[in-house]
């Protein structure tokens, strides 16, 4: 951690500190959404709805791969930020080395288990006869390339934990630029379709991982990927997995929710699945902006939790105000041009109508989603493992019965609205837990003011 990063952790105004940590993350995550949208756009130019359906059906698999990266990355990253606040610099080296090598081992296991089970996985993703071949191609490439995706997520998290927000952003943007260039090449020049899109994603994550590893190896003062610092003590394991496991569970639940949601949508045809795939990618842009904000301030909250709790409280308050402002702006934009946004991906009138409807409904919970992400980030940063775990499972547990009841009562419309209801329940649970834990999180502050 250089003097500039330490300044933002400890002395800069709250607005400047939040901007330093959050803006690069917001830009990086938004770029990530852009290339997710471009994947769908490039495939959409081929005029094959089955390819778009395959892309939507593989979202649960991608969520699980991301879950593995977050299992190690978020757990190690929040621990590193707290250690920096306590000035335990040797421990930081041990944790960062552990994060690097444990991520690689984890992915080797995934490849060994996943590759022999390709067909059952594709069937489990509910691929239709038309989309089965495309889905299988995508799944195969993603499992083979999973080590690079997981390593990218792990390294990005531990770099942010040290305060290197700009470097983290550069790596994410590098990944997007490489992915976009390769997408155009593999689709318009080599005509590889879904295989090309999946390969471009894997290669772009590999390039960014190399960039991050180089920075850690040669420019970081406290982080390291040297094997000589590797240590897997019970203290490291407990701190990493206390936060990492809830994040993993949350990511798996997101994947499972997407799978369950697709199961209900399949009843209404490929257009319904494709419409959800397109609208969810568009929704990802504001969601990931808010996610970038909330995840970006996690290192600042974690550092302040061990160093200055008043600064932590001020950071949280300022972040809430920004969430409100962004949710209002994005909501207005979407309600004005939703048809045009869906029309970028298809000229099918029914698909445009269904996608626009899904956008309108799901955007109602944008503020709620932002606040829920912030609640989860606070629990992660302050090592509240139980609260983080509850936040991870509550939305999924709520969505399943809500989906069933809403589908029986109101068909397609009920399925779409179930997402908003599940988000609202998660928000209420998070707000209650934060209130209950307020004294534990900030024992030296007067909450009557």
DSSP conformational letter for 119: H
Per-residue pLDDT of the chain (449 residues; tens, 9 = 90+): 556 667 788 888 899 988 888 888 787 777 766 766 777 777 777 777 788 778 777 877 887 888 888 889 888 988 998 898 888 889 999 999 999 999 988 888 888 888 999 999 998 887 878 889 899 998 999 999 999 999 999 999 899 888 888 898 899 889 988 988 998 898 888 888 888 888 998 999 999 999 999 999 888 888 999 999 998 889 999 988 887 887 787 777 766 776 777 778 777 777 787 777 777 777 777 888 888 888 888 888 988 888 888 888 889 999 999 999 998 888 888 878 777 777 777 777 778 888 888 888 888 888 888 898 899 889 888 888 888 888 877 866 788 888 888 888 888 888 888 888 888 998 999 999 988 887 776 645 443 33
How far apart (Å, rounded) are the C-alpha atoms in residues 123 and 136?
Answer: 9
How far apart (Å, rounded) are the C-alpha atoms in residues 348 and 356?
Answer: 12
* Residue 122 resides in a domain: yes
- What are φ and ψ of residue 358, in 5° steps? -60, -40
How far apart (Å, rounded) are the C-alpha atoms in residues 442 and 375?
Answer: 15
Q: Which residue has the tokens 């991870």?
A: 392
For residue 262, how many other CB atoms are within 10 A of its CB?
21
Alpha-carbon distance values, 154 to 30, 151, 415 (Å)? 18, 5, 34
How far apart (Å, rounded) are the C-alpha atoms in residues 282 and 278?
Answer: 6
* Residue 132 resides in a domain: yes
Alpha-carbon distance values, 7 to 20, 21, 27, 131, 294 (Å)? 11, 12, 22, 52, 20
User: How far does CA 140 lie from the centroid of its chain?
Assistant: 22
| Of residues 194, 182, 35, 69, the one with CA closest to residue 127 | 194
- 172 contacts 119 by C-beta, under 8 angstroms: no
User: Angle at CA 399, nearest 5°, toward 395 and 403?
Assistant: 170
Q: Which pLDDT does position 35 carry in this prediction?
A: 67
Which domain covers residue 70, as residue numbers?
Answer: 3-441
| 143 half-sphere exposure, CB direction, 13 A CA radius | 21
The residue count for the chain? 449
* Residue 426 resides in a domain: yes
* Residue 351 resides in a domain: yes
Q: Which pLDDT does position 340 carry in this prediction?
A: 75
How far apart (Å, rounded) are the C-alpha atoms in residues 202 and 180?
Answer: 12
User: How far does CA 25 lie from the centroid of its chain?
Assistant: 11
How far apart (Å, rounded) are the C-alpha atoms in residues 433 and 300?
Answer: 21
User: Angle at CA 61, nearest 5°, toward 56 and 63?
Assistant: 90
Q: Which pLDDT does position 203 carry in this prediction?
A: 94
Q: Which pLDDT does position 298 carry in this prediction?
A: 87
Q: Which pLDDT does position 396 carry in this prediction?
A: 67
* Residue 446 resides in a domain: no
Q: Which pLDDT does position 449 carry in this prediction?
A: 35
How far apart (Å, rounded) are the C-alpha atoms in residues 42 and 358?
Answer: 22
Q: Which pLDDT does position 448 carry in this prediction?
A: 38
* Residue 449 resides in a domain: no
* Residue 367 resides in a domain: yes
Q: What is the CA radius of gyration of the chain?
A: 21
Cβ burial of 435 (10 Å; 0-12, 13-18, 19+) is: exposed
Count of domains forming the chain = 1
* Residue 152 resides in a domain: yes
Alpha-carbon distance values, 376 to 63, 290, 291 (Å)? 17, 13, 11
Collapsing DSSP to helix, strand or coil, 128 comes out as coil
| Of residues 62, 61, 64, the one with CA closest to residue 251 | 64
How far apart (Å, rounded) are the C-alpha atoms in residues 139 and 130?
Answer: 16
């Amino acid at each position: 951690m250089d003097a500039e990063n330490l300044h933002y952790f400890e002395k800069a105004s709250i607005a400047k500190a939040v901007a330093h940590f959050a803006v690069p993350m917001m830009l990086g995550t938004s770029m990530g959404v852009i290339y997710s949208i471009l994947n769908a756009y490039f495939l959409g130019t081929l005029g094959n709805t089955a390819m778009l359906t395959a892309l939507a059906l593989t979202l649960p698999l991608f969520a699980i791969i991301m879950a593995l990266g977050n299992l190690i990355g978020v757990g190690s990253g929040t621990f590193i930020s707290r250690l920096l606040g306590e000035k335990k610099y040797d421990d930081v080296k041990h944790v960062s080395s552990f994060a690097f090598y444990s991520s690689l081992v984890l992915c080797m296991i995934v490849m060994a288990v996943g590759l022999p089970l390709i067909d059952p996985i594709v069937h489990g993703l509910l691929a239709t006869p038309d989309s089965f071949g495309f889905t299988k191609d995508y799944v195969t490439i993603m499992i083979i390339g999973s080590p690079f995706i997981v390593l990218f997520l792990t390294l990005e998290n531990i770099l942010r934990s040290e305060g290197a927000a700009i470097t983290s952003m550069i790596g994410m943007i590098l990944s997007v630029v490489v992915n976009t260039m390769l997408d155009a090449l593999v689709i318009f020049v080599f005509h590889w379709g879904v295989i090309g899109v999946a390969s471009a994603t894997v290669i772009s994550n590999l390039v960014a991982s190399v960039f991050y590893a180089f920075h850690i190896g040669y420019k970081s003062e406290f982080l390291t990927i040297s094997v000589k610092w590797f240590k897997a003590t019970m203290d490291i394991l407990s701190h990493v997995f206390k936060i990492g496991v809830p994040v993993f569970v949350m990511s798996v639940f997101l994947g499972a929710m997407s799978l369950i949601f697709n199961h209900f949508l399949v009843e209404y045809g490929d257009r319904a699945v494709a419409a959800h795939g397109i609208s969810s990618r568009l929704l990802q842009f504001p969601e990931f902006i808010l996610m970038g904000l909330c995840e970006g301030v996690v290192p600042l909250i974690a550092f302040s939790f061990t160093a200055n709790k008043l600064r932590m409280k001020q950071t949280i308050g300022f972040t809430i105000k920004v969430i409100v402002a962004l949710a209002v702006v994005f909501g207005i934009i979407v309600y004005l041009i939703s048809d045009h946004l869906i029309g970028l991906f298809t000229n099918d009138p029914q698909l445009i109508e269904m996608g626009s409807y899904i956008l309108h409904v799901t955007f109602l919970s944008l503020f709620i989603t932002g606040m829920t992400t912030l609640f989860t980030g606070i629990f992660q940063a302050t090592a509240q493992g139980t609260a983080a775990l509850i936040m991870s499972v509550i939305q999924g547990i709520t969505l399943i019965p809500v989906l069933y009841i809403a589908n029986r009562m109101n068909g397609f419309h009920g399925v779409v609205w179930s997402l908003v209801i599940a988000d609202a329940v998660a928000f209420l649970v998070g707000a209650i837990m934060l209130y209950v834990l307020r004294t534990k999180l900030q024992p030296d502050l007067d909450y009557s003011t």
